[in-house]
Chains A and B, each alone.
Chain A
Amino acid sequence: MHVPDGFIDAPVSVTAGVIAAAGIAVSLRGARRELDDLTAPLAGLTAAFVFAAQMLNFPVVGGTSGHLLGGALAAILVGPFTGVLVVSVVLIAQALIFADGGLTALGVNITIMAIVTALVGYGVFKLLVKVLPRRRSSVTAAAFSAALLSVPASAAAFVAFYAVGGTTDVPLSTVIPAMLGVHVLIGLGEALITALAVSSVLAVRPDLVYGARGLARPLRLATEPQKTEEVATS
């Protein structure tokens, strides 16, 4: 999804830069409440994992590939504000060191791949966790769905920037279905990786999964009253 330079015109790229900067500023403030001695190193690790996973393009259909965006995953694991920062760190490193994602497009890329994915992903996740039964499998299912939806949401955000500042006149009626269609498929890969990563951490340290924090205690009492080790974290 990394937008190169030249897809979106200068005024809209600058606007996106302002949106991205504001989103990062708000996240820097919000992340303070999410991060402590335990979660700060986990957030650093999450950034490294997202970078690694983004190198792994998986084939989807007809000579097209996709890779993890990671916003939903990061938001669920370490919190939505920190999640925005996790993906932003990755995107900035990719643009500056690996020439992946344009420089004038950095604001667009941070907005669509860090802010939109973390917000949509975390919103969907919280909503589902609220309505689903209080079980560990529900957290995994919610993570799967949140990640699945975060990718087409990111594609839609790109289309929105294209609609106001695209440098070509390819009509939206062409761009919208093509972008959304392929990104729903890529979303399935995103969902699988996210569900796998979240359930892995959930299995060994449920207390460290930000999005499952409120659930840890009732979940434990209901299903695993014997595990005395779990009590140590509460």
Chain B
Amino acid sequence: MSLKRLLVLGLLVAAVLAGIVSYYASSSPDGLEKVAGDKGFNAKEEEHPLGGSPLADYGVKGVEHERASVGLAGIVGVGVVLVAGTGLFWGLRTRSRPDRQDTRKTHA
């Protein structure tokens, strides 16, 4: 499989997970939240300073439709992280050695 194909496929998987499957995620508190609540070490927990931001808590502010709201937030997140991450890693990479070229392009 060519790198390009692998990347497109991987991105598709990420987009489906964040954009569609995320709606079906468990809404129970996660391990830390639950234990902190049960045992009481969340007593001094503070509100998130950016809690009023447009994408806070993985929902798009103003979008009433729950499925669309979480899905859109997920897609935006995947996009932002992809661009930020790829930009950072592309900037950090060393020049490719000849033996690390993507030689399978023709086999795809």
Contact = CB atoms under 8 A, between A and B. Distances in A.
A224 interface: no
A187 to B, nearest CB: 10
Interface string A53-82: 101111110111111000000000000001
A154 to B, nearest CB: 10
B82 A65 contact: no
B56 A99 contact: yes
A53 B17 contact: yes
Given A5-B46, A208-B6, A232-B103, A56 B25 contact: yes
Interface in A127-170: 155, 158, 162, 166-168, 170
How would you classify the secondary structure of chain B's contact residues: helix, strand, loop or mixed?
helix
B72 interface: no
Interface residues of A, number: 80
Contact of B39 (A35, A42, A170): A170
Interface stretch (A14-22, A25-33, A118-126): A25-33
B87 to A, nearest CB: 8
B93 A32 contact: yes
Contact of A55 (B46, B74, B104): B74
B27 to A, nearest CB: 7
A96 interface: yes
B38 interface: yes
B57 A98 contact: yes
Interface string B26-53: 1111111011101111111111111101
B38 to A, nearest CB: 7
Contacts of A218: none
A191 interface: no
Nearest to A33: B94
A131 B31 CA distance: 32
Nearest to B23: A55
B53 A162 contact: no
Contacts of B81: 47-48, 50-51, 89-90, 93
Contact of A168 (B22, B41, B84): B41
Given A41-B89, A102-B48, A182-B34, 17 more contacts: A4-B42, A32-B92, A41-B90, A44-B82, A47-B84, A51-B78, A52-B14, A56-B22, A56-B25, A59-B28, A63-B28, A89-B81, A100-B57, A162-B41, A186-B30, A186-B31, A208-B3
Interface of B: 1, 3, 6-7, 10-11, 13-15, 17-18, 21-22, 25-32, 34-36, 38-51, 53, 55-58, 70, 73-74, 76-90, 92-97, 99-104, 107
Interface of A: 1-7, 28, 31-33, 35-53, 55-60, 62-67, 82, 85-86, 89-90, 93-100, 102-103, 155, 158, 162, 166-168, 170, 174-175, 178-179, 182-183, 185-186, 201, 204-205, 208, 229, 232-234
